[in-house]
Chains A and B, each alone.
Chain A
Amino acid sequence: MNIFFLIIGMGMCVLVFLCLYRVTFGPNVLNRAAGLSAVGTKTLIILLFMGVIYDRVEMFVDISMVYALLNFLGTLVLAKYIKQSGEVECQL
Chain B
Amino acid sequence: MPIINIISGLFILAGFFFFFTATLGLLRLPDFYTRLHATGKGDTLAVLYCLIGLAVYHGFNITSVKIIFIAVFMFLAQPTATHAISRAAFGCSFMPWKPEGGAEE
Contacts and interface: CB of A to CB of B under 8 A. Distances in A.
Interface of A: 1, 4-5, 8, 11-12, 15, 18-19, 21-22, 27-28, 30-31, 33-35, 37-38, 41-42, 44-45, 48, 52, 57-58, 61-62, 64-65, 68-69, 71-72, 75-76, 78-80, 82-83, 86, 88, 90, 92
A69 B13 CA distance: 25
A5 B13 CA distance: 10
Interface of B: 1, 5, 9, 12-13, 15-16, 19-20, 22-23, 26-27, 31-32, 35-36, 39, 43, 46-47, 50-51, 54, 57-58, 62-63, 66-67, 69-70, 73-74, 77-78, 80-82, 84-85, 87-89, 91-94, 97
A31 B1 CA distance: 44
Contact of B88 (A35, A61, A65, A82): A82
Given A68-B73, A79-B87, A83-B91, A62 B50 contact: no
Contacts of B20: 15
Contact of B69 (A38, A65, A78): A65
Contact of A79 (B35, B43, B88, B94): B88
B16 to A, nearest CB: 6
A41 B47 contact: yes
B39 A34 contact: yes
11 contacts: A1-B57, A18-B23, A30-B85, A33-B85, A37-B82, A41-B43, A41-B74, A48-B51, A48-B54, A83-B88, A90-B93
